[in-house]
Chain A
């Protein structure tokens, strides 16, 4: 009897297995064919698919709630304003920001980083200063800094990576000095999948009193991010990579920085008082949201956050890890295939090259098998230069992908090798 009881207790304690078929049913796009084969969508690092609840929420907003937000004295405008601001509140809770006002709605992660580079840069970066980036950055976290550096006479310092595609942290601290004004670094590499020890990086920078701007585009869809726990000064991410619509993204920034920074764009909706002599600006977040924002996008993103809260996100993260491990193991068995990015800590990105076969040819052949992957430099040419390759083929997984899809990927890669043999 006692034993029975023990077993029962054991039965109830392990987590339920992650039900991928139930999750897949939430994403209408996944059930279609591509080139006559069931679609295997393995390009999630570029853009994730959208669940039904988000589509329905956007539909409902456009059908029943649309009006311009703020300043509208009528019911519909107030309803839209409430929906927009409640999306901000959802984001705040999702990333555990101190205040909703610290979450600025932008067009996407690229715009978020541009905002920080130009606004923070204009206020705090001077001739002779230094900006620290890493070798593994996406172009969106390089060019804005390069541009402001050129304008101000500042220079970029680069944290190196090793052959596995991990940051060489020992070098990082050596790059920091009294001229360093900001560290801009990715949480997860889009081309390699490397998960950087972001909390440690931020804490090292903070020892020197240097703020850190984190490109979180590839982290947010894969695991919980707590901006207070990692103590990020800025955290940028896109809606469409976290199962929301395109055209919306978020810049989280600590109030103390955002308040000191000048507006990035100016216009309607972000002022307190305007005369031809002088304009005073609205407080955050409005100060950084000139013009009519992407109201529909923000509401859609709020619904995506609701969706992620409604599933067991931790179990989903675990499931993705298993999927990546399985794919890594399977692909390693194919002769001639080399994985680019073999860090100990990885999110579900699998970049690879095949001897004597160009990634674009791999991409085209996989497409004919119904498998969507990305081939190219992934907007990370310094990474390609480091590995001395022109491009990679990249499969990137979300929690709605399956082992069967991985098997199809492996089969299609084998077929590619065969065609070119």
Chain B
């Protein structure tokens, strides 16, 4: 179970149970939808961006524990960040879960998000962790849809 513990860490299980920023934002001025056709996970992001800053962000959707926890922690991580800072986090997160960035030895601003490094050992689950980030990336680029395929 040692590897499992690396994937289903307490913080991930907790965010799965009590996702933060879950629900619709009424005054959102940017939305994007993400889906993972492989497993049917669906996610919708709501953002309120003012002066290039993500003032508010939330999500709705259904998915596994990994995708739900990742979305929850993503919204916390990028709230009140500039769009560029959020994009940088997206890029670092993406590199981490695909094995191109070692968060322990290389410089990064991932902070708590490092908890998802373990997903690397579970290739079938990488897309679960990155769905919300791909959707954020789409929203920041004014695209309506993101897909992990």
Cα(A377)–Cα(B13), bound, Å: 23
In the bound complex, do residue B7 and residue A364 qualify as a contact, i.e. CB atoms below 8 Å apart? yes
Contacts A358-B64, A364-B125 aside, 20 further interface pairs with beta carbons under 8 A come to A35-B3, A357-B65, A358-B65, A359-B64, A360-B39, A360-B125, A360-B128, A361-B66, A364-B124, A365-B4, A368-B4, A375-B39, A376-B38, A376-B40, A381-B40, A384-B40, A390-B41, A391-B39, A419-B4, A420-B65
In the bound complex, do residue A419 and residue B40 qualify as a contact, i.e. CB atoms below 8 Å apart? no
Cα(A37)–Cα(B58), bound, Å: 41
Chain B residues positioned under 8 Å from A384 (CB to CB): 40
Nearest A residue to B124 by beta-carbon distance?
A: A364
In the bound complex, do residue B40 and residue A391 qualify as a contact, i.e. CB atoms below 8 Å apart? yes
Nearest A residue to B68 by beta-carbon distance?
A: A358
Number of interface residues of B (CB under 8 A): 20
> If the complex has contacts A368-B4, A419-B13, are A361 and B64 also in contact, measured as CB distance less than 8 A?
yes
In the bound complex, do residue B122 and residue A364 qualify as a contact, i.e. CB atoms below 8 Å apart? yes
A-B contact pairs, 21 of them (CB 8 A): A35-B3, A357-B65, A358-B64, A360-B39, A360-B64, A360-B66, A360-B124, A360-B128, A361-B66, A365-B4, A365-B8, A376-B38, A376-B40, A377-B40, A381-B40, A390-B41, A390-B62, A391-B40, A419-B13, A420-B13, A420-B16
Chain A residues positioned under 8 Å from B4 (CB to CB): 364-365, 368, 419
Cα(A192)–Cα(B63), bound, Å: 22
Nearest B residue to A368 by beta-carbon distance?
A: B4
Cα(A420)–Cα(B4), bound, Å: 12
Chain B residues positioned under 8 Å from A368 (CB to CB): 1, 3-4
Chain A residues positioned under 8 Å from B8 (CB to CB): 361, 365, 419
Chain A residues positioned under 8 Å from B122 (CB to CB): 364
Cα(A360)–Cα(B67), bound, Å: 10
Q: How far is the CB of A35 from chain B (nearest CB, A)?
A: 8
The size class of the interface chain A forms with chain B is 10 to 19
Q: How far is the CB of A21 from chain B (nearest CB, A)?
A: 29
Which residues of B, 1-37, contact A by the 8 Å Cβ criterion?
Answer: 1, 3-4, 7-8, 13, 16
Which residues of A, 358-388, contact B by the 8 Å Cβ criterion?
Answer: 358-361, 364-365, 368, 375-377, 381, 384
Cα(A368)–Cα(B4), bound, Å: 7
Cα(A368)–Cα(B39), bound, Å: 19
Cα(A395)–Cα(B64), bound, Å: 19
Chain B residues positioned under 8 Å from A391 (CB to CB): 39-40
In the bound complex, do residue B13 and residue A390 qualify as a contact, i.e. CB atoms below 8 Å apart? no
Q: How far is the CB of A348 from chain B (nearest CB, A)?
A: 24
In the bound complex, do residue B40 and residue A361 qualify as a contact, i.e. CB atoms below 8 Å apart? no
Chain B residues positioned under 8 Å from A390 (CB to CB): 40-41, 62
> If the complex has contacts A368-B1, A368-B4, A377-B40, are A361 and B62 also in contact, measured as CB distance less than 8 A?
no
Q: How far is the CB of A335 from chain B (nearest CB, A)?
A: 17
Cα(A384)–Cα(B41), bound, Å: 13
Nearest B residue to A358 by beta-carbon distance?
A: B64
Point out which of A360, A365, A381, A420 has the most chain B C-beta atoms below 10 A from its C-beta.
Answer: A360
Chain B residues positioned under 8 Å from A381 (CB to CB): 40
Chain A residues positioned under 8 Å from B41 (CB to CB): 390
Q: How far is the CB of B125 from chain A (nearest CB, A)?
A: 6
Chain A residues positioned under 8 Å from B64 (CB to CB): 358-361
Which residues of B, 92-149, contact A by the 8 Å Cβ criterion?
Answer: 122, 124-125, 128
Cα(A420)–Cα(B7), bound, Å: 13
Chain B residues positioned under 8 Å from A361 (CB to CB): 8, 64-66
Cα(A381)–Cα(B40), bound, Å: 9
Point out which of B3, B65, B122 has the most chain A C-beta atoms below 10 A from its C-beta.
Answer: B65
Cα(A390)–Cα(B63), bound, Å: 8
Chain B residues positioned under 8 Å from A360 (CB to CB): 39, 64, 66, 124-125, 128
Which residues of A, 387-403, contact B by the 8 Å Cβ criterion?
Answer: 390-391
Nearest A residue to B1 by beta-carbon distance?
A: A368
Which residues of B, 59-99, contact A by the 8 Å Cβ criterion?
Answer: 62-66
Cα(A35)–Cα(B121), bound, Å: 12
